[in-house]
Amino acid sequence: MSRRYSLPPFALPYRWLLLLTILLALVAVLPNGQKAQGPQGKPKKQYLNAKPGEILVRFRPQSKARQLGRQVVTAKTGRQIPLVVEAVSPAGEIVEGLRVVKVNPADTSNALEALRARADVIYAEPNFIRRAFVTPNDPRYPEMWGLNNTGQQVSFGGHSGFPSNDIRAEQAWSITTGSRSVVVGVIDTGIDIDHQDLHDNIWTNTAETPGNNVDDDGNGFLDDMHGWDFAHNDASVFDYTEPSFPPPDNYAGDWDDHGTHVAGTIGATGNN
């Protein structure tokens, strides 16, 4: 025969107190079953933007630990941490005594502490990850809302619109900033090939001899060193004549700045 016990209504807060006590007991235990560290214990330092399991160590000249291969280091607890000592570069020793020490990623902090405590170690540091700063420092780059739109105000050339309404240029540059083996053809108005941001990156037809009025490469175009002007049917790819702005309705000149702008988005030289 089973019995049921019920608490009076005024005892309801005690139920919550019991539940709260259970929850506090649960959060005092780590997921792996180990007890949480008390006030005296300090969690091991986590190094952000560093490669787990790798430590850069510079050993003193007399240290036998400079030798490449499997070794161990002793932590404060007396536990031996296996490690592998490798060269920093296959090309040779960049800095005398500098090595890459590889350990189990979970042992990185303990191994780093143990290595720093050794008398034969000059210094030991995490193998921090450094990324190239891809945002150019050109004075007017902040105006280029098409590349990186922050909702900025622009003095000329349209409206910036909404933040992030752009071509994600900086995200792309963090992956690659291009290759000289890639050639991009621009079908637009002319391109100022002598522009200071473009002249170093303009494609040159090495199969053509400039100025000899001969179709050296046999492609049907004479002296096409940097492309072809199909509007005027000649090798000049830039015929800029500056009109008033905005141009009159009957303007029939060659306004080649848009092609230059497009070419700049593709291949302008930054940081100049």
Regarding whether 102 and 79 lie in a shared domain, the answer is yes
Regarding whether 249 and 189 lie in a shared domain, the answer is yes
Regarding whether 85 and 152 lie in a shared domain, the answer is no
* β-strand pairing of 98-102 with 80-87: antiparallel
Regarding whether 219 and 138 lie in a shared domain, the answer is no
Q: Determine the 3-state secondary structure of 184 from DSSP.
A: coil
Regarding whether 95 and 142 lie in a shared domain, the answer is no
219 in any annotated domain: yes
Regarding whether 227 and 201 lie in a shared domain, the answer is yes
227 in any annotated domain: yes
Q: Convert the pLDDT of each residue in 84-116 to its tens digit.
A: 999 998 877 889 999 999 999 999 999 999 999
Given phi > 0 = left and psi -120 to 50 = alpha, else beta, which region is 96? beta
Contacts of 96 (CB under 8 A, 6+ apart): 58, 61
Q: Convert the pLDDT of each residue in 118-175 to its tens digit.
A: 999 999 999 988 766 678 888 888 888 889 898 887 776 567 778 888 999 988 887 7
Residue 39 is predicted with a pLDDT of: 39
Q: Determine the 3-state secondary structure of 66 from DSSP.
A: helix
Angle at 55 between CA 103 and CA 91, to 5 degrees: 105
Q: Convert the pLDDT of each residue in 125-140 to its tens digit.
A: 999 887 666 788 888 8
Angle at 259 between CA 263 and CA 184, to 5 degrees: 40
Domain range enclosing 200:
179-272
55 in any annotated domain: yes
- Distance (Å, whole) CA 229 – CA 235: 6
Domain count, the chain: 3
Regarding whether 224 and 267 lie in a shared domain, the answer is yes
Q: Determine the 3-state secondary structure of 57 from DSSP.
A: strand
21 in any annotated domain: no
Q: What is the average pLDDT score of the chain?
A: 79
Regarding whether 189 and 254 lie in a shared domain, the answer is yes
Eight-class DSSP state of 77: T
Regarding whether 187 and 269 lie in a shared domain, the answer is yes
